[in-house]
Structures are given as C-alpha cells and as structure tokens.
Structure 1
Amino acid sequence: MAEFKNSGEEMKNFKGVWVFCEQRQGELQSTVLELVSEGRKLADDLGVELAGLLLGDNVEGLAKEIGAYGADKVILCDDPSLKDYTTDAYADVICDVVMEKKPEIVLIGATNIGRDLGPRCAARLHTGLTADCTHLDVDTGKYVEFLKASSTLNVDQMVETGRIKMDDRNLKMTRPAFGGHLMATIICPRFRPQMSTVRPGVLKKGAYDEAKANAVVVEKVAVKTGDLKTQVVEVVKEAKALVDLIGADVVVSVGRGISKDVEKGIKLAEELAEVLGGVVGGSRVAIDSGWLTADHQVGQTGKTVHPKLYIALGISGAIQHKAGMQDSECIIAVNKTEGAPIFDVADYGICGDLFKVVPMMIETIKAAKAAK
C-alpha cells in the first residue's frame, strides 16, 4: 500500500460520510444500523452522500438492509479472503478504498473488531481517531443545544467569546474521559478523514424504509489484499455467550446497595431477571468490586441500554450510570436512601431495603403468572 500524504491542501478533496458495515458470518452487527441512521443525519447536515462500506464474501445481499436505514450507496468489497475478519486484510482494503475515494468522515462501531481496525486504519491514513464516542455532531447549532442539555458549561458565553465557532463544520466527537467522570469533545481540523469508533447502543436506530432499501446503489470495488500474514483456519463459537444487555427487553441491575450480602443480592437480581425474562446488569461499582464481570456493566464506561423495563437495585444513580440507562421505556428504582439521584429518572421508585422488597416483587410476579 502506498503512503498516504494527508495535507491541508488535499483536505478540500474529501467529501462524504462513510459507515463501516461490520458483518459476522453474513449478518450485520446491530451497531451498523445505528451508525447508518446517525450517518444519514450527519450527511444531510453536510449536504453530502452517505455510503456504507461492506467487506466480506458473498455479502451483497446485505446492501438493501444498509440502504433501508439511510445509505445512498454501498461500497462492496467482496472476496473470499474477506469472509472472516483479519486485521491485515481488512485494514489493507479499507485504506486503499479510502485513499482512492476520499470520504471526509468514517464511522466504525466500537466493537472488538472496530476497536482493532479503527486505530490501525487511522495510523496508516495519517489522521486522527476518537474512540468510544457517545455523541456526534457536525452542525454547531445542534452541538450547542447538546451542550446546554448535557453540561453545566456557560455555552452562550463560549459562543459570544468565540470559543465555539458557529461556522465550524468539523465532526464534533464526544466521549467519556477521566474514567467516565468528564465528557470530552474532540475535533480533527487538520486531517481527513475524520474517524471515530462509536459505542454500541448510544445512537438510535431509525425506521426501516422499503423505498430506500430498493433505491440503494451497490458500487463494487476490486479487492487487492496482497500477501496476507494471517489466515482464519477455524471459527470456534464461545462456549458461554456474553450477556446481551443491549438486546434485552428487561435489565435488572445491581449496585453498591448489595454490599452487605453480595451473594444474596446477585441471586435476587438473577431470580427477578429470570421471572421477567431479562438479564442482569450492574453499576461500575459492582464491576470494579468484582461482583459481576465487565460485560454486565451499564453506564458511560459500560453499555448504553434502552430496554422496555430497567430495574435498578441499590444503585444511587451517579450521572455516569444514568447516562447508560435513562432512555429506557420504564425505570423502576429500589433504594433505601430517599434522596438518591436514581429516583430523578425513575418512573416508579421504591424507598426500602432491596433484600426485603425484591423477594416480594418476585413472589408477586410469580403469583400473577400462575393466575393466568
């Protein structure tokens, strides 16, 4: 691959928004449709085209689904060498296509693959990448409204003094910083493309549009992978799947409030989740204390969830945790502290000892089910 010289003069040649459409074994990852939906908004604000970048083997059939959520076209790199993800093959192909077509923005899901692929591509392309983003804007007016709603900054003063330039059309990439205690907005004004990985679940997927699905254009690109250093010989599925917090309709999360009897607290959460057909999550305290594994974490430094029902057990409601669950359709909080911040976002609050309240909830639900 030839070296890419990213200079200020060349920046004006970059145009368009791209989304890397990650697929595994012929199925799009859920974060792709979230990114395509968000990419559509960014492309509209910039007045440019939105393209999905799809790599794989015999995956052209996925193009309609990508188009249905807003992509104008799908750039298809279809080759047997791309059937399974390998860092060198995917990075080679993506960088070659980016160098040729010059998009101004490239969005990648912050999955295990995306976190490996994004930084490697950014380094080869001599550009910057902001990782684990939770919010994106190109329209400064919209960004100002976002700041007013989500921060304590004097935004109007920042605009008046020129700290925020209203004509700025750079991609404003917001992500947690300092262990999730602050939010930082990062821009990449001197290099292109502007790249970011975005955490799954933080962006909302739009509605499926059949007309857009039928209108999407597929642009096939010749694949040149050269000498590959790695090859996937066999794919072995994980014996125990990680908990699917993002896809769950019901999430029962535990926090510091179970500390007096962790084993019993976890068991109660599991029983409640089971009778409701849900999964168990946890606050950062629960994960840092070793009570639950990292795949259970809800919050800015964990997963952002939007279940139909979210039950918070013994969680005080730190802003970092609320950011990861406050858009749930219904929130029930159980906490013995009357003024706990979690009650501010709860639809129903129970001020009491979770070790007494949860068993009653479980028995009531079981009785209601038995009566049907």
Structure 2
Amino acid sequence: MRNFTEEQTMFREAYRKFLEQDIAPNMPQWRENGIVDREAFTKAGAQGFLMVWPDEKYGGLGDSDFRYEQIIIEETVRQQCGEWFNTLHSRLVGPYLYKYATEEQRERFLPGCVSGEKILAIAMTEPDAGSDLSGMRTTVKDAGDHFVLNGSKTYISNGILADYVVVAAKLEGAESSHAMVLMVVERGMEGFERGRNLDKMGLKAQDTAELFFNNVKVPKDNVLGEPGKGFFYLMEGLAEERLLNAVGTISSARKAFDVTRAFVMERKAFGKKVSDFQNTQFTMAEMDAEIEVAQVYLDHCVEMHNQGKLTANMGAKLKLIGAETEWKMMDLGVQLHGGAGYMQEYDICRMFTDARISRIYAGTSEIMKLILGRDIFSDSYQSLLD
C-alpha cells in the first residue's frame, strides 16, 4: 500500500480537478500552437500547485516532502498533460534558487516563481555538450562588478516561456574544465536572444528552444553560490532529477498499460477479443509485473530521498529502469493496437512519440549503465549493498 498522508490524498484530489478543468481541455490547442499558455502557470500558482516546497514567506506551503511533487507528476501524466513542464519549473530548476541563493536572491526570485508569474528554465546542454558537461563551450568572464556571458545553448525546455534561465558556463581563466558558474539570466537582458521553438518528434505542446548569449552583462547579484563551483552544484541535483524523471516514466508506463488494456478488451480479431489471445495475456501480464516492481522501487527511492539518503547510484538505477520500462510498454501498446496504434487519433500513438525522449534526457540509458557499471567494478561496490 502506498504511503500518502490524508492531507496529500486531499491535495491529489484537488490537483486532479484542477487538471480536468483548467489544463487537460486546453492540451489539444496547445499542441497545435506548439506551446503552453503562460496562464497555465499562473492558474496553478494561484491555487498553490507550483513550487509547494518553499517557506510560506516566499508564497509556498513550506512542505518539502517529495511526495507532493510525486502526486503532481503522477496526476499530470494520467490526465495526459505531461507536455506542460510544470515540474521542471517547480522542482528541477526552482531549488537552485533556494539551495545556492542568498536570502536577498530568494526574496527577489522565489515569490514570482511560486505564483507562476515568472517561469523557469535551466540551460546546460549545447550542440557539442550533452551528458558530458566538461565539453561545454559557453563561457563567463569576471569583469569586476559583473560577469560577461558568451555562448549558446540548445534543447532548452521552457526556453521560449522562461523569464529566469539558470545558465551554466565555464569560468574563463580557471585551470579546471569543471570550473563553472551558475547564474540567473533574466528576460530582456541585453545580448540574450532566443532562437526558434524547435520542431520535435513528440511533446508538441512543450516549448524547446535555442538560447544565445552575446556579451550579456550578468550582475553578480544574479550569480548562484560560489563562482567556479557550478559543476558540483549541478551534480548535487542529479539524483533528484533522475527521481523526477522516473516518477514520470513509470506513471506513463502505467497510463499506457491502462490505455492498451481498454483497447484490447474492446477490439476484435478472428471473431474474438484481442484480450482473449494468449499472447496478449502473457505480454500484458509481464508488463503489469514489471511496472508494479518499478513502482515499488520508485516509492522506496522517494522515501530514501525524503530522508536525505538517495544516492547517485540509486538515482541512476531508477532512471534506467523507469525509462526502459516505459519504452517497452509503449512499444507493446502500439503493437497490440495494430494499425490503429500508428494513427494519431489514438492516444497510444502520441504517447509513443512523446516517450522516446525519456531514454535520452536527464542522462541517456547508456550513461546510466556506464555509471552503474563503474560502481559494480569499484572497490566500494560492496558498501552499496550493505
């Protein structure tokens, strides 16, 4: 039995109604537009569904229990609103503006983010630097009373909508290739430009953009933490990022299972329901078991994270399991739909293309295997089992 409090169950019900009324009905139009309306964020903020974790003085609920974000992701996926990247705003980027910020920065940045009036993005990926951040070419130079930022980023989620972008750049003059600076670049800063809203395979309603920085003067008041330590700040957030990813992928796998189950119980072939064929029963039974086991491990990792015990190794395992389970279920879903699975009018078709990115972002499945493989053959591997 999943361990949610009565208050969290009430929160789930309220959030589900919000999605049903204010978000889900708009998704078809937003997919056609290629972007979600800003109003999605302000409406969510007004009802307390964005960034629930900051203290009340910043506008939040003051409850850092990760299960609130778990509920938000699960319900967003189940209502097929996953292209609204509210969690990237709330739990992936938002914590940088608290954990590494001064009190003055928190008071300046957080209230607008909690209300949804200011939308967040994070810019790490470049054309030649994805999972390997050491290949980053964007640079920042200390110019005395400010920093000067030059370079470009690509595949930036919320890139068009974002008002605050947490940008990672290499510190000029530093000896280490890992000496990076994290800074908040604001909409309207001179030299900050956005490229096109990229035309993706899936996630059509979610804006993804190129960002360009040409001698952008970034005030030192916008630098997060200590200049030069940005790489380590990013690494500290990876376990939670992968946990967030897995909540989405495992919820998505379960949604695809439900959609497919409903279809095969109605569709007929050779005079009987597709669900009556042994192959359908065997493959769906296998997926039901795999999704359930993945969910149990996910819930365990959420508990560990709430206790401050989620490790990079656990996060990598979970991200790998979640993404691969989702993809296996999506592929099976399309197969069991037959020709209908290839048609856009059926949910499974869109879900299939949306899911393809899951094995890439937040670290590819190959990178997860590399991380885990190194751990297996390290001297400290036994300690991971104890």
Fold match by TM threshold 0.5: no
TM-score with structure 2 length normalisation?
A: 0.26
Task: Specify which structure has the higher proportion of helix.
Answer: 2
Higher-Rg member (1/2): 1
TM-score by length of 1: 0.26
